[in-house]
Amino acid sequence: MKESFYDILKGKFLISNDAFKNWRFILFCTLLAIFMIGSSHSAEQKVHEIARLNDEVLELRTQFLDGRSNLMKIKMESTITRRMATSGIKPSDVPPTKIVVKEKQ
């Protein structure tokens, strides 16, 4: 047992007669490790991209709600009346009347 442990530490399994099998396995493990590292980096980039896009969506939603509330304030009758008063235009004191057109027979 002690001899085999020293053989492993010295690397004799890499230069023995059947070392080709060992080298194939080591190469396979190396390629597998490289593939796993690459896929984990790719997944991490996607997670960061998703987080960035979620932040952007929240920012755009906030801008949309702010714009909509500003529009509602601008469309109010009191705001329109105040803005038009500078031009000398004021709301009518007489309410509008409905015009009914009858067809000729």
Residues comprising the chain, all counted? 105
| The predicted structure's pLDDT at residue 42 | 97
Q: What are the CA-CA distances from residue 51 to residues 13, 14, 57, 58, 98 (Å)?
A: 48, 47, 10, 11, 57
Contact partners, residue 14, CB within 8 Å, separation at least 6: 22, 23
User: What DSSP state is assigned to residue 9?
Assistant: H
pTM above 0.75, yes or no: no
| The predicted structure's pLDDT at residue 17 | 76
Among the listed residues 2, 25, 18, the one whose alpha carbon sits nearest the alpha carbon of residue 10:
2
Q: What is the pLDDT of residues 51-104, one digit of tens each?
A: 999 999 999 999 999 999 999 999 998 899 898 988 888 888 898 899 999 888
